[in-house]
Chain A
């Protein structure tokens, strides 16, 4: 049992101060901008919800939002099953497990713009292995010219980059299952699929929840990799929300609409995370845990 102790607040105070400085203050600035028209540093006009209305009607933004949703859902649909599969393939222990773990985690440690740079060359049809191989198979592939190819390249890059995180998490979850469970299954003569469905999957629920949430948040905020790889093009086939926001805020310096957009953006992520979280909790209770 945990003890009721309100003095525990003192232990949390440093965290709150730090996060307040680096999250609440900036967020307040954003709220402030989102309801004002800033003509000059000294001249500001309160405009109410005008910027929010502007943003809501922005068709380019709708396009970016759909692309973003499609991208994030594809990321989840591919990375989560693939991550589970690879984690199931990992050796349980020994030097092979250590080596596989380190090699698998390597893509996670590469700075994001370096990731973009590698793929920029890797995907080139003339001098890159990936582009060259695909073209050699007789498929016309050109990620700088064709919107679909560009989109697919960003997706494959993200799969390469982030599936390791899912693998690490699932591997951790699998190692935490006691041997007794497998022994019981063997005595019952359970099939391989039954072992996965009724023992491993329910036990993975917690780590999968973290994996799904982290992958969703991070793919929804993706910025650096597509920016370096395709610059959002061709056209705006790979312009995702973050990039559109940065264009508005830094490029065009539309502070008011950019701030309103920021708030809506944040709320969308929060809403989806909340829905995913609740959905996964309900799914879990149906299983024999």
Chain B
């Protein structure tokens, strides 16, 4: 492998540069607004936790987090739930139109959310789903379901087919085999898929903001409306930003050993 004396500093440099903007946000979240807009300071001279206090005590702020977590949760469960049988079918059987179907699924991942903005608005208004968590969860399925099928199919193809056959000979029915034997074998794959679904749904704003107004408003949308009479409330904004990283960092810590494997096995 490459010489450690070159790779280690290179990696360290990349990490340093990549963490700087994040450090800057954490730095801002601990400052007062006066300090943020008046001077450049590498660390807070006047350390304050007021920004975080504002978020945890004001319902219009913390409800944003709850809304985001609810719709991301619904989306993860629905996406992975329907992607599991589909991925199994793609990995185990050939059937009429399977290759075309797989590519067609991927094309949905290629549609810009901006294209769907207006039709989604009208469709969800018509069926009365506007401003519900379900609406955002369903909308995000457009890009998460293809991705979930894609990743899961890779993991499932890694399980030898003999396992299925032996189980059927032993008298297992399909649902029982799938839940009792097959799922535990690919649980790292399910973990990785959940992570990617979480990530893409958590960070998406355009659709989430368009489909909600009050009841299901995501935290990211709340953050766009912090302009007050006194100008931007940068400190609170940064604090909210810091808090949006926390759930993701937790999720990634739990699946860190499997993240890398997910795509290596996927087919294209």
Contacts and interface: CB of A to CB of B under 8 A. Distances in A.
Interface of A: 2-9, 11-12, 14-16, 18-19, 21-23, 25-27, 29-30, 33, 85-86, 88-90, 92, 98, 100-114, 117-119, 121-122, 126-130, 132, 160, 163-164, 168-169, 171-173, 175-176, 182, 192, 206-207, 209-210, 213, 217, 220-221, 223-224, 228, 241-243, 245-246, 249-250, 255, 258-259, 262, 265-266, 269-270, 273, 277
A258 B118 contact: yes
26 contacts: A3-B92, A5-B94, A11-B89, A12-B86, A15-B82, A18-B82, A18-B145, A19-B142, A22-B141, A88-B7, A101-B256, A101-B259, A105-B259, A106-B19, A109-B199, A110-B248, A114-B223, A114-B240, A121-B234, A122-B21, A132-B40, A168-B260, A175-B261, A242-B112, A249-B114, A265-B112
B111 to A, nearest CB: 6
B112 A266 contact: yes
Given A8-B93, A109-B251, A126-B40, 14 more contacts: A12-B85, A18-B78, A22-B142, A27-B111, A29-B118, A92-B1, A109-B249, A111-B220, A117-B223, A118-B241, A121-B36, A132-B40, A176-B265, A221-B112
A210 to B, nearest CB: 6
A101 B136 CA distance: 30
B114 to A, nearest CB: 4
Interface residues of B, number: 97
Interface in B1-16: 1-2, 7-8, 10-11, 14-15
B149 interface: yes
A270 B103 CA distance: 11
A245 B256 contact: no
B74 interface: no
Interface of B is mostly: helix
A224 B206 contact: yes
Contacts of B24: 118, 121-122, 128-129
A98 to B, nearest CB: 5
B202 interface: yes
A97 to B, nearest CB: 9
B61 interface: no
A103 B234 CA distance: 25
B15 A110 contact: no
Given A15-B149, A207-B264, A98 B82 contact: no
